[in-house]
Structure 1
Amino acid sequence: MTIFDQLESEVQCYARSFPTTFDKAQGEYLYDREGRQYIDFLAGAGTLNYGHNHPVLKEALVDYIMRDGITHGLDMHTAAKAEFLEAFNQHILKPRNMEYTFQFTGPTGTNAVEAALKLARKVTGRNNIISFTNGFHGVTLGAVSATGNSHHRGGAGVALGDVTRMPFCGYHGRDIDSLKMIEKLITDPSSGVDLPAAMIVETVQGEGGLNVANADWLRGLEKICRQHEILLIIDDIQAGCGRTGSFFSFEQAGIKPDIITMSKSLSGFGLPFAIVLLKPELDVWSPGEHNGTFRGNNHAFVTATAAIRHFWKDDAFAKEIAEKSALVSAHFKKVSDRYGVTKINTRGRGMMQGLVMQSGEIADAVVAACFERGLVIETCGNRGQVVKCFCPLTISIEALERGLNIVSEAVKEVMAEKLSNAS
């Protein structure tokens, strides 16, 4: 038995899919203790958009540590925080004509969601939150109440209330107007749905299966929120920081959320870091009313600032992402065309795309076959049926094509075995 088998909880998940001990990482590559190289199509579940140990970010962090920069400062003012705020405002908000107040929460995405939900209820005086089918917002009690997945909800151990589930874009098929359904339910005094404080939504559902909300649907959702004085919360924790091509995933829709939650790749280096961006008029918190010992990670401020200044000073990085996204789309379309959309379909947007298999078992078999070939990739979806390409945005074209070819080979092997067993 390994030390992990002896001492680590059964709750561990990714280790079961990738049974090795990783020891080193650089760019788009992981290395285990035996020195075997793996292409990383997982990227820390979207935490490593800029790859592992990016040299620009690493140098900034090492320099900061070596000069004894502040490590932990609660929510006190620090030079590292000031530089982050200035960089984010200059390179992200101002070019997009956005004005938001920053709230530094506990260090993970679920902390940001908890703060956003509390704030929405405090501002409006209402309890109900509308979330959406297949949405994932975290696993602490408030966030998991808004999460759709029964597996995660089942771990709560208590009743989960004050959340109403509505159909996500396309949930009932393309012929059903879910926006009309939502508006009918919130305006009918006998529907049983209380007027909500907020709606919380992902523009692309990462864990839920790479379901994409189209721009018209997002604009329609925003219109409903404005008409009924409901706050619109965009959960950009997984889809943000360039994953869909633009820094924020909702930019193509032209909407202006009231509240935005961010984490994962915000630090750029895999360091825990989360924020809530809120319209200034919503900042009704009393000092210390929502806090946390690790709100504002100074090391993460340093790497986040370096990432923003390096990658988002102009539109060159966004163009690079678009080129790689098109490559992923083309590869996955070939796989789907080979077997037909009834057996394998494509889904997603930007650099969060996947192959929809017929079952979670088939998807798991593809993941295992990929791992044998030196590729780390995961599944998502309501039944774990989507093989999800989530590589670093900085991946080289050569490594991206090699990884996509591995996926294609793994699918071919699994489908051949499936057909053989069927006959």
Structure 2
Amino acid sequence: MKLAVVGGGSTYTPELIDGFARLRDTLPLTELVLVDPAADRLELVGGLARRIFAKQGHAGAITTTSDLDAGVEGADAVLLQLRVGGQAARQQDETWPLECGCVGQETTGAGGLAKALRTVPVVLDIAERVRRANPDAWIIDFTNPVGIVTRALLRAGHKAVGLCNVAIGFQRRFARLLDVAPGDVHLDHVGLNHLSWETGVRLGGPDGEDVLPGLLAEHGDAVARDLRLPRAVLDRLGVVPSYYLRYFYAHDEVVRELRTKPSRAAEVAAMEARLLEMYGDPALDEKPELLARRGGAFYSEAAVDLAASLLGGRGPSVQVVNTYNRGTLPFLPDDAVVEVQAAVDGSGAVPLPVPALHPLFAGLVAHVTAYEDLALEAALRGGRDRVFQALLAHPLVGQFEYAEQLTDRLIAHNREHLAWA
């Protein structure tokens, strides 16, 4: 079984490698190819990856290449984890929206749109080359904004499933609070990528007892601290929102915070420099503790589970993924991409039924889905008017004057990545 990781020079990659090594019985890889145009980073990450495999006794071969076509040739699955424009572009995404009083964040709001515009054309080009190399290959997208990117891939007819680590992160946190094994925790996870809620926490499986009310009653303070929201918000909602909902529920507070401290992009860039220095140490043969602060916790476990279900020939497994709605949320089009529990096997992901979503959440989901429609059109077809419409439609922008100013700033900061600009 061959798997290729596009963006394999990322500092995230050792987290992925550690999961592949530990869970080799679940996903029996024989060949892993790390693909990245940054040859210097790739050499450092690839060396550590081989040492991790060797230490944990994994017999699979790890190779590295900057040649995309060679790297994906014959791959059974290709995992995408790229960042077009690198941390420099992220720094801009987190900065210029603040000039207009809007949240500066890399996956939502104006910064998220900028990332989508840079990323979608690149991902679609990669996907076409994967399809030429192996039409049966699965594409697993971890590249943000996952919902928009996955929708672009599916709309172009690719065998694709989107993946995020938010749900598995909640599963692990709740398991610790409840003092049970993670596999015993099943989430009623519903919404869009980076716009989701845990509406139930069930023990033992999808039909198990919902312990969310008790969990909030006993551990609500701890959950609220993790989300950086007041405990009263959780009590009134009766659900656990994704931490990305803070950008919506406490927008002005977040803007004030972001204006008075270094950007997350600056923190990550400094962390990446230190991680790459550590990766170059020939004595290092495990992922360093610092990597946990980089983000992407439990990403490897989620990726292994998904790849194993798509490739391993086992029966359907239930996982939270990004895939076509197909009537799951009846107020959305069937070809919207939702993030819900799905039955996953070699034929793909089929969303499982979810209870009717409360209007408090359904309204925001519908609103952001409309934005994602317009964002994808802007990414595929370009043009200032399409960018403006997408910004005006986003609930974190939503005002004519802001949308005008943000459109000009977005284009100015991303011109080198926009073929039409």
- Give me the TM-score of the superposition, normalised by structure 2: 0.29
Structure with the higher helix share, 1 or 2: 2
- Give me the TM-score of the superposition, normalised by structure 1: 0.29
